Chain A
C-alpha cells in the first residue's frame, strides 16, 4: 500500500463519504421540482406570457422564500460539481486551489446578485 497520510497525503479536497453524494441528489431533486412548479405557473391560465405573468410568479412572499432556498441549493450543487471537475483534471495543488477559490467567489457573487434581484421585486 502506498503511503497516504501525513505529508504524503494525496491532496484532493473532497469530503469523502455520503454527504456530498446525497446533497448533490437532494439539491438536484429540489431544482427539478422547482422547474416543474415554475412551468405549471407559466402554463396556468391563458393568453401570451408577458411581464405581468412572469414577474407575478416570483412576486409572492412564499415564492421568494422558496426561490431563495433553490438558489442556495443550486450554489451548493454547482460547488460540488465544479469542484469534482477540478479534482479530476487539475493535478497541481496550487492551480487547483486557485480554481477552487475562483469557483467560490464566482458562486457567492452570483448568488448575491440573484437574491438581490429576488427581493427588489
Chain B
C-alpha cells in the first residue's frame, strides 16, 4: 500500500479555554450556540422571571414594589442592575424566539440550503439585537 496523502492532523479533546475562543463560527453557528446560551440563561433566571410575574400581577402594592425595584432598587441591588438583568432576559427571549421560528420555518419548508442558512442566521442575529436595543432604550428611559 502506498502513501497517497500526508496524514491529516487530528484534533481531539479540545480545551474549552484555549481552543474555543480561536474557533471562527459562521453566522448559523453563532445563532446555534446563542440559542443554547439564551435558553440556559432563561433557565437559570426562571425564579427571577416568576418573581417579576408575581410582584407585577399580584396586587397594586406589589406592582408598586415591582416598579420601585427597577426605578430605585431592591435591597442592596440598584435599579440599573435590575434593568440590566431584565435587558439580558429581553435579548435571550428575542433571540430564542426568532431562532426558534427560523428552526420551525426550516422544518416546514425543508429550507436546508447553505445560502438560506447564512442569510436567515444574519436576519436572526440582526433582528434580535436591533429589537433588544429598541426595547432597552425604552427600559432605560431614553424615549
Q: How far is the CB of B31 from chain A (nearest CB, A)?
A: 15
Whether B43 lies near A81 (C-beta < 8 A) is: yes
For B58, give its contact among A35, A106, A121 (CB under 8 Å).
A121
How far, in angstroms, from A32 to B102 measured CA to CA in the complex? 12
Question: How many of B's residues come within 8 Å of A, CB to CB?
Answer: 21
List, in ascending order, chain B residues with CB within 8 A of A28's CB: 100, 103-104
Within 8 A of B (CB), among A32-54: 32, 35, 50-51, 54
Q: How far is the CB of A52 from chain B (nearest CB, A)?
A: 9
List, in ascending order, chain A residues with CB within 8 A of B97's CB: 32, 35
State the B residues within 8 Å of A (CB): 36, 39-40, 42-43, 46-47, 50, 53-54, 56-58, 60, 63, 97, 100-101, 103-104, 107
Chain A at the B interface: SS class = helix
List, in ascending order, chain B residues with CB within 8 A of A78's CB: 39, 42-43, 46
Whether B101 lies near A51 (C-beta < 8 A) is: no
Whether B50 lies near A114 (C-beta < 8 A) is: yes
Known contacts A110-B46, A110-B47; A29/B104 CB under 8 A: yes
Q: How far is the CB of B82 from chain A (nearest CB, A)?
A: 18
List, in ascending order, chain B residues with CB within 8 A of A81's CB: 39, 43
| Range class of the A interface residue count | 20 to 34
List, in ascending order, chain A residues with CB within 8 A of B107's CB: 25
Q: Is A15 an interface residue (CB 8 A)?
A: no
The 6 closest A-B pairs by CB, nearest first: A51-B63, A117-B54, A110-B46, A114-B50, A55-B57, A28-B100
List, in ascending order, chain A residues with CB within 8 A of B40's CB: 82, 85
How far, in angstroms, from A68 to B108 measured CA to CA in the complex? 28
Chain B at the A interface: SS class = helix
Whether A54 lies near B56 (C-beta < 8 A) is: yes
Whether A25 lies near B104 (C-beta < 8 A) is: yes
How far, in angstroms, from A50 to B97 measured CA to CA in the complex? 26
How far, in angstroms, from A58 to B104 measured CA to CA in the complex? 28
Cross-chain pairs A/B with CB under 8 angstroms, 16 sampled: A25-B104, A25-B107, A29-B104, A51-B63, A55-B57, A55-B63, A78-B42, A81-B43, A82-B43, A85-B36, A106-B43, A106-B46, A107-B46, A110-B50, A114-B50, A117-B53
Q: How far is the CB of B67 from chain A (nearest CB, A)?
A: 9
Known contacts A25-B104, A28-B100, A32-B97; A114/B53 CB under 8 A: yes
Q: How far is the CB of B14 from chain A (nearest CB, A)?
A: 12
How far, in angstroms, from A78 to B40 measured CA to CA in the complex? 9
